[in-house]
């Protein structure tokens, strides 16, 4: 439900440059003062939780006082394993009676990671989402179709509350069912949609199968994409398929969900909302801080969450802080697109490989479709990296020589990128498994095949 002040804000949103002008353009020194004040408040709240109550460094820092943001480096990291080990209530810093919602991961490999919210937390999250969408050009007059799963997954309700705070007409379509998605888009004049990148390739295929072109047969002008790492090449493909601008979104449930960082209309990095988070980039091996511009692991601390503050959380996401100011005028720093996760890297034949390296090569090739899969297997007494690549329909023909040349070219390009020569298999369009959730890009069969 939109409060009166939010409704008023939504009604005049067409005439403003920013959702919250004062906060979004706060001078750097003032923004850091706000962060320091909120860090003190967050640490006091965190100390009420069973997990952080045991942290001697937090106790000492609270007694002695926090003089600068840099002092946060004196505190220990929080990891996903910590959240799992202290499941379910170990990180809760509020009375259970104040908690009104939880979200959690799937927990398929053990205890899930759970995050709790009170009324303040949900209001803050909804506002961050509205701010993010506004920065990407979404306005109260838009019709927003959310093609993300609802329930414990944060992408559904996180976007939903932000859309409503912004004042858009929302279509909570949920994930999958492409024919229904297309009908909703055409019946109600959807202008903005949110989906994971890997699903949009499938949706485009269904458009074409129905004799429709989203560039001609919808009113779509903006896509919001996130929830899984993707390359710039894949983003540009999506934009070409739908004839729209596609804006990157970043979030993780431990930090609320979507709305942690978002691209503005400049599309030159994602503004990370520093009134709500402290951002660090560390070397994932040495755990030492890295300077702006250098890629490493993102570490985050919540500044505006009451029920469950999280301190120095190791996200495992790899990015960098982009130096310099954004032309949009927002003073909150920008992070680069997420290029993968430190735990996504696999080692084969002595080479360190990230799936995004493979995608970056494949998505540059006009012959290649939108789906691929990496299989790690043990064949003929040695480990092998097999890359299965879907081709576009017009390229999958009976011309064996043409296909062989393409296969060799892909293998050569990948060898130059990852420093080993993979086995490349060209497969028919639509033959690789598809999922309505995040795409599974790597399957490791090495242990089971030895």
- Print pLDDT tens along the chain (450 aa): 334 455 445 445 556 899 999 999 999 999 999 999 999 999 999 999 999 999 999 999 999 889 999 999 999 999 999 999 999 999 999 999 999 999 997 654 568 899 999 999 999 999 999 999 999 999 999 999 999 989 898 999 999 999 999 999 999 999 889 999 999 999 999 999 999 988 998 899 999 999 999 999 999 999 999 888 788 888 999 999 999 999 999 999 999 999 999 999 999 999 999 999 999 999 999 999 999 999 999 999 999 999 999 999 999 999 999 999 999 999 999 999 988 787 777 878 777 788 888 888 998 899 898 889 999 988 877 788 999 999 988 777 667 888 899 999 999 999 888 888 899 999 988 888 876 667 788 888 887 655
State the CATH architecture for 346-449. Answer: 2-Layer Sandwich (3.30)
143-146/192-195 β-pairing: parallel
Element (H, E) at 268: none
- What is the DSSP pairing of strand 296-302 with strand 277-282? antiparallel
**Nearest of 148, 192, 152 to residue 173 by alpha carbon:** 148
SS3 percent helix, strand, coil of the chain, rounded to 5, is 35, 25, 40
- Sheet containing strand 169-171, edge to edge, reads 169-171, 143-146, 192-195, 222-225, 245-252, 257-263, 270-272, 334-335, 321-322
Answer yes or no: are the C-beta atoms of 130 and 184 closer than 8 Å.
no
| pTM recorded for the entire structure | 0.83
What's the pLDDT score for residue 2? 39
From 163, 213, 169, 212, select the one nearest 188 (Cα to Cα): 169
Which tokens belong to 245?
A: 């601008």
- What span, in angstroms and rounded, lies between the C-alpha atoms of 34 and 38? 6
CATH of domain 1-341: 3.40.50.12780
Residues in the chain: 450
Mark 220-232 as b/e (b = at least 16 C-beta within 10 Å).
Answer: bbbbbbbbbbbbe
Backbone angles phi, psi at 314, to 5 degrees: -80, 105
Place of tokens 């990671």: 113
CA dihedral 307→57→280→344, nearest 10 degrees, is -80
The three-state secondary structure class of 127 is: helix
Q: Can you give the residue ranges of every domain in the chain?
A: 1-341, 346-449
Nearest to 191 by CA among 152, 243, 116: 243
- Coil, strand or helix: which one is 99? coil
What was the pLDDT predicted at 3? 41
Cα separation, 362 vs 213, whole angstroms: 24
* d(C-alpha 423, C-alpha 374), whole Å: 10
Q: Is the peptide bond before 88 cis (omega within 30 degrees of 0)?
A: yes
**What Cα–Cα distance (Å) separates residue 142 from each residue in 3, 220, 399?**
19, 10, 47
62: part of which helix (H) or strand (E)?
A: helix 56-64
- DSSP three-state, residue 171: strand
């Amino acid at each position: 439900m939109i409060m009166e002040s939010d409704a008023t804000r939504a009604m005049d949103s067409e005439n403003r440059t920013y959702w919250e002008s004062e906060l979004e353009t706060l001078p750097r020194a003032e923004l850091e003062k706000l962060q320091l004040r909120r860090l003190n408040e967050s640490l006091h709240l965190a100390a009420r939780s069973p997990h952080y109550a045991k942290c001697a460094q937090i106790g000492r820092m609270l007694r002695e006082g926090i003089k600068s943001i840099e002092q946060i480096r004196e505190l220990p990291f929080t990891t996903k394993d910590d959240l799992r080990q202290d499941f379910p209530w170990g990180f809760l810093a509020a009375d259970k009676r104040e908690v009104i919602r939880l979200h959690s991961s799937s927990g398929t490999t053990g205890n899930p990671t759970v995050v709790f919210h009170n009324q303040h937390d949900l209001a803050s999250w909804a506002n961050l989402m509205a701010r993010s969408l506004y920065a990407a050009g979404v306005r109260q007059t838009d019709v927003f179709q959310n093609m993300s799963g609802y329930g414990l997954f944060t992408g559904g309700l996180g976007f939903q509350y932000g859309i409503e705070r912004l004042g858009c007409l929302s279509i909570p379509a949920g994930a999958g069912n492409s024919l229904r998605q297309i009908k909703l888009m055409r019946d109600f004049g959807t202008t903005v949609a949110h989906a994971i990148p890997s699903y949009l390739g499938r949706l485009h295929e269904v458009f074409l199968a129905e004799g429709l072109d989203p560039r001609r047969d919808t009113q779509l002008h903006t896509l919001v994409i996130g929830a899984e790492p993707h390359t710039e090449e894949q983003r540009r493909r999506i934009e070409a398929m739908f004839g729209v601008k596609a804006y990157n979104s970043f979030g993780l449930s431990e930090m609320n969900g979507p709305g942690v960082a978002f691209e503005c209309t400049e599309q030159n990095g994602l503004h990370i909302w520093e009134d709500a988070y402290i951002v660090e980039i560390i070397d994932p091996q040495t755990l030492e801080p890295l300077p702006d511009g250098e890629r490493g692991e993102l570490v985050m601390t919540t500044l505006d969450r009451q029920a469950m503050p999280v301190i120095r959380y190791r996200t495992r996401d790899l990015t960098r802080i982009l130096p310099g100011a954004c032309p949009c005028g927002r003073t909150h720093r920008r992070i680069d697109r997420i290029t993968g996760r430190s735990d996504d890297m696999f080692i084969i034949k002595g080479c360190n490989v990230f799936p995004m390296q493979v995608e970056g090569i494949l998505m540059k090739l006009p012959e290649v479709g939108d789906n691929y899969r990496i299989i790690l297997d043990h064949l003929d007494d040695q480990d092998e990296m097999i890359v299965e690549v879907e081709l576009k329909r017009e390229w999958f023909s009976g011309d064996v020589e043409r296909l062989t040349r393409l296969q060799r070219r892909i293998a050569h390009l990948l060898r130059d990128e990852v420093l080993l020569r993979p086995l490349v298999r060209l497969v028919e369009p639509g033959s690789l498994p598809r999922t309505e959730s995040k795409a599974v890009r790597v399957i490791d069969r090495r242990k089971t095949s030895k």
